[in-house]
Structure 1
């Protein structure tokens, strides 16, 4: 009969492999031609980080100072870290959530890709620009979870696990669960992509400099991130974003009462100024009619126009000399077609002439805004989602780069040694 120490050694090996083997399986599912091919770089990043941790743990399994309980806690913490991502990726295998998330991811990528095509991440070509991962959650307000931000704020098994530097290796966007049945709310993803563009291309200083030189009050510096994100929403889907946001502000007070947003009427004025710059005065006049409350006084409204102009007019170094309006927005021809497409959706017909995902979602939102009952009667939302899915091309979106993988491995090893050192220090 085997000895206890032999059984413990093999048991520990199995516990380490419980994660290692699963990570390998997920990585296979993210290869080209597999169900998660669109999430190739995302899965690769997190697998590389956690696999490096697991490999280090396997090397240490002979360490007599590491108790059975300690070892199990470490592995459970690793599973907990992986579960933050695993739970979101798993929904891509459930039919009734997969179909919606395919559209949400495709829309986020359509908004994000123009910046990827023209910009460079802090001047470093070795850094892969991963597409955002959209996930469903119980927060009623969409939010951007930036690359490098913390996660796993509770529930870790070990005391040390709660102190880890827990960094998300790719951008993420959380949206409410009920968005699966209300297509217009997908437009807020464009706003959250704006936050990711600002973060990934390090635009914060450039935004502040432009606002500071625009001759407006210092309050705008505190609002710069949200103002930029609203402008990005208007760039991505035009007036559809503005009128949809108006409803959200009026119905639920989205962003009202928080210091990082302008007051509600002024935020609406920012969107109106952006629409006027992007779509022209005639379209802006139509948008203005959807705001039922008084506009800010003329001097304050003028400040909104100055800020929008300052952020849209001049080229950005991080975008390799391109302006936001020049390369990041929906094209003029697609903007002109979205109203006709919305009319078709309300007649129960899927518009065949739209090929840009942003334009399809914008058309659906405008159709809902025009006649919400007819929108439901004709299944306009489902038709728009189906149209987007028909445009998804096979293949991966972004490939993980060697330098990025090396960084992920280093992070995984560092996490393991930080945990073990903290444990040793307590003894």
Structure 2
């Protein structure tokens, strides 16, 4: 296996898979400005693209939840027409492909795009058409990508069953899964059991935002009550992990000054609780988003982000962006941060990429085709030597 640090070229060119990316969190700043003019929205805080980009990042970094949530008010305001949704979805696919992403799942909540007269069906059809357009343009530019959509229901609303039915209606037209998002505290996933039971009856995939802002009970309910295929974030699973008998959070607090603490940690000192062990044993994928977790205080730093410990413990970790605009990030930036601050190598990036592709919400043979036909050859071309099979 390659233990050498990744070069910038390897980071950029390595095939990547993205499972957790919000459509309304990844717009180009200039597109927001253009669409605002098209629909007569005059509420933008800046009308210069670079200043607007900075405003989004600063707002997300501010530590103020109201200011962070305000960022989505602006992106959603310009995603209320067919043309707006089409453009945003097309550019999403193109931007991801240009960053080396070969497969992605883009999630959005159809119920948040109805203020200018679109129907739920109209929203889905506009996004699907935009994704197909973006795929075609990316392929023409020499960066082929496949993008499917996850339909999201908001935890605080009462439309989850309706959105689940919508996802099933479009399951053969580019929609590959379902999700619930929004505030975890006070809005447990069990409020939406009818939707999850319906999806299971229909043999359909779903993920649940769990274990980001709220702890182990949210993860337990998502898995045991609702039957989630994957966990959105899941970073708080470390609340069920101890080091030398101390909670992970306490150990981190005592090692904040040591950038190499996680990479040098003797794993014999680590103990998994029952839930953490179950998540690892069942190979439940964790959709981890390091930069986003720093902004929401779910992790103290990239160096001490739980993703590195969980990767070393062989959880099914995946690497994701969450909201590219708000975090001013990309898959390449996330990988470079982990390289620079947590010692990640090309082998680590290949490993999480294959994990993600194994966990994607498309048929097994299609996942295998991307792994064997694109991902493994792509890393071999970059100099990665596959481990010998015993």
Note whether the superposition's TM-score is higher than 0.5: no
Q: Which has the larger radius of gyration?
A: 1
Normalised TM-score (structure 2): 0.24
Normalised TM-score (structure 1): 0.23
More helix by share: 1
More strand by share: 2
